[in-house]
A and B are shown apart, each in its own frame.
Chain A
Amino acid sequence: MYSYNDFDEAFVRERVAQFSAQVERRIDGSLTEDEFKPLRLMNGLYLQLHAYMLRVAVPYGTLSAPQMRQLAYIADTWDKGYGHFTTRQNIQYNWPELKDVPAMLSALADVGMHAIQTSGNTIRNVTADQFAGAAADEIEDPRPVAELLRQWSTDHPEFQFLPRKFKIAVTGSSTDRAVTKAHDIGLRMVRNDAGEPGFEVIIGGGLGRTPMVGKIVRDFLPKADLLPYCEAIVSVYNVLGRRDNKYKARIKITVHENGLDVMRDKIEAAFAEKKAQFDGVDQEMLAEIEQHFAAPAFKTADTSGYEAARLANPAFRSWTDTNLAAHRADGYSIVSISIKKHGATPGDATSDQMGVMADLAEKYGHGELRISHEQNVILPHVHQSDLHAVYSALRAADLATANIGLISDIIACPGMDYCALATARSIPVAQEIAERFDELKLEHEVGPLKIKISGCINACGHHHVGHIGILGLDRAGVESYQITLGGSGMEDATIGERAGRGFSADEIVPAIERLVLGYLDLRHDADETFLEAYRRLGAAPFKAVLYPSDAKADAA
C-alpha cells in the first residue's frame, strides 16, 4: 500500500495548518461565509440539513488497518461513534462541529489521509475496483496508476476551477466493478495484440439529471501515455466545457454537444503536445509507486478445516456462498463484509465495527481493507484456512450478514435524512425493503439483484444503473418514489428505463415486492436473473405487475 513520502506529508500538513487558520478567522468574524465556503469545500466540509458533514477521501477505496482504526477514533472523538461509507468509496462524518474539523484533519494526516478535493469543481478521489490486486480476473493491479492519477490531480494548478466536478474510475479487470462507464473518465485495463497491458479510455459517462453511458475515445492507450492523455482530456474539457449552465457543465454534455469525433480530434491534438512535455518523470514515479503495491507474501496452508466447517455450519456456508469472491492466489478468497444488515443504514459502520474490521485485516488479511462503491468493506486477501475465524469475529460484531449482491445489499445515498440537496429520503426505503425481504425469506431464491436508491436527481445512489432503481422526489410537498428498470453499472452498462408514475412513501415497498414476486413468476428458471429476465421480456410484463390496475384497464 502507498505510504506518504516527505512531500505528501508536508503538503497535507500545510493544508491542515492553512485550514485551521481559516476556521479560526471564520469564527472570529474576519472571514465572511462567502469567503469561507469555497475554502471549506476545498477541504471536504459541507453544511448539511442538521450539521456540518466532513467527507474524507479513501484513495481508490484502499485503507490500511491503522487508517481504519483512526477513522474509528475520529468517529468516537469528534462525531457520534459511526461513519458512513459512500458510493465514491469515501467516508463521511455527519456531525462534526466547525471548531473540531482542523483537529479531525490533523488526525487524518497522522495516518496519511485527508479530505482535499472531496468537493468542488476539481478532479475528485480516483475510484477503483474494490478487488484490485486480489481479483482472479485481473490483468494488473490498477491502484498504482490510480495513485499516480491522485498525485497528478491533487492541487493540479490547471484543474482547480474546472467547469464542474470531474471523476475518474479505473479497473484492471474485464469484469467492471468500478462503474467505469458512468465516470467522466473511465479506464479499463486491456491487452493489445502484442499482449501488452494498456487502457481502453472511456469519456463522458455520468449519472445525475442527464444520465449517459461513457463512450470509448481510445481503444488502446499504452500505460506509459496515461498521464499526458488524461491531461489532454481534462484540458480540452476545461476549455470546451460549458460554464454558463451548471446543469450542462459536465464532460458528458461536452461530449454530447460536440460529438465524440470532435472531442477525440481535440484530445489527440492536445495529447501530442502534452506528450512532448512529459520527460519520463511520471514513469519513474509510477515505478516507485508500483513497489508500494507489491502483492503480500501469500501463505500456503491446509484448507480442509475450511471445507469441514462449511459442511458443519449452514450459516457459515451461506455466508461463504454469498460474501466470497475468487482470489488470484491459491487457497485465498476475497471477503466482502456486508455493511447492509437488514434494517440498518446502508454503509454505516460503528467505531467498534471499524475496530473489529481493522483487527481482522491485521490478523488475517495482510493488513488491507477496501471500501466498495456498493458501500461494503472488503478484506481482499484472506486465506481459506482463516475464513471461519474471520466469520466468527464478524458475527460477534454484527457484521456477518450473508447478502452480498442480493436484494438487501442496497446502495442508498444519505437522502433527506442528512443531505441539503435531497428531495426525499432514501435510507428508510432501503431499510424497509431489506427488512421486508428478510421477513419473506426470499432473497436467496430471488438471487442477484441490485437495488439502488437516490434521494434526488443528482443520483449519488446510482439509481440509473440499478437493476431496480428508485429515485426519491418531492411531488407537491410529498415524498414520491420513481422506479427505473433494467439498469446496469457493469461492463454492459445500461441506463434504466422509467417504469411509470411514482409511488408514495407508503406504496414504494409493496410496489418493489410486487415487482420482485412478479419476476419470480416471469423468469425462465432459477438461473435467470432479474436483469436477464428484464432484457429478454422487456418492460411490459414488469409494468403490468407494478401497475395492476392499468393492466386491468387495458384488458377491459
Chain B
Amino acid sequence: MKSPQVITANALLEGDAIWLTEDDRWTRDMAEAELIEHEAHGAIRMLFAQSQPSVAVGVYLADAKPGANGPEPTHFRETFRTRGPSNYAHGKQVELS
C-alpha cells in the first residue's frame, strides 16, 4: 500500500462527508477516522463499510496521513470534504467548530 488510507462516504440522509472509525462508527470529523495501513485490513473494512447502505453512500478508500489529532487528507479534494466550500462559511467548517 503506497499511502495509508481512510474509508469515507456520504451520509444517506444529510449527504455530507463521513468517515469510518476503528470502533465501527461513522464520524463527521475525519480526525476520528481509522487510519488503515495495510491493504488486507482495508479490504475487510471496506466490506464492513459497504454493508451499511442505510448509513453510507458511495463508500471509497481515500489516501490520508497521520496528523497530530488524527488522520489528515493528502489531496485537496479530500481537504475540501473535511471543511466545505470556499465561497461561504457553510458545511463542516462551521458545523464542527
Contact = CB atoms under 8 A, between A and B. Distances in A.
Interface in B56-82: 57-58, 74-77, 80-81
Contacts of B58: 33, 47
B1 interface: no
B12 interface: yes
Nearest to A50: B91
Interface in A398-421: 416-418
Contacts of A52: 15
B80 A29 contact: no
A302 B52 CA distance: 69
Contact of A48 (B15, B74, B76, B86): B15
Contacts of A478: 76
B46 to A, nearest CB: 15
B42 interface: no
B15 A427 contact: no
B14 interface: yes
A348 B85 CA distance: 14
A90 to B, nearest CB: 19
Nearest to A52: B15
Given A47-B10, A47-B58, A418 B76 contact: no
Given A48-B15, A416-B77, A33 B87 contact: no
Contact of B86 (A26, A47, A425, A474): A425
Interface in B8-46: 10, 12-17
Chain B at the A interface: SS class: loop
B97 interface: no
Given A418-B85, A428-B86, A479 B76 contact: yes
Contacts of A348: 87
A417 B53 contact: no
Given A49-B81, A80-B90, A427-B86, A97 B13 contact: yes
A73 B54 CA distance: 30
Contacts of B12: 26-27, 33, 98
B57 A97 contact: no
Contact of B84 (A29, A50, A431): A50
A87 B16 CA distance: 25
For chain B, which range describes its interface: under 10, 10 to 19, 20 to 34, or 35 or more residues?
Answer: 20 to 34
Contact of B15 (A80, A97, A416, A477): A97
A345 interface: yes
Nearest to A98: B13
A97 B14 CA distance: 5
Contacts of B92: 50
A99 interface: yes
Interface in A17-31: 26-27, 29
A50 B87 contact: no
A427 B57 CA distance: 27
Interface string A1-41: 00000000000000000000000001101001100000000
Contacts of A80: 88, 90
B30 to A, nearest CB: 13
A51 interface: yes
Contacts of A199: none
Contacts of B15: 47-48, 50-52, 96-98
Contacts of B57: 33, 47
A96 B12 CA distance: 12
A391 interface: no
Contacts of B17: 49-50
A131 interface: no
Given A50-B15, A50-B16, A99-B13, A477 B75 contact: yes
B76 A477 contact: yes
User: Which residue, A49, A96, A416, A479, has most C-beta atoms of chain B within 10 A?
Assistant: A49
Interface of A: 26-27, 29, 32-33, 47-52, 80, 94-99, 345, 348, 416-418, 425, 427-428, 431, 474, 477-479
Interface of B: 10, 12-17, 53-54, 57-58, 74-77, 80-81, 84-88, 90-92
6 contacts: A27-B13, A50-B16, A94-B85, A345-B87, A416-B80, A431-B87
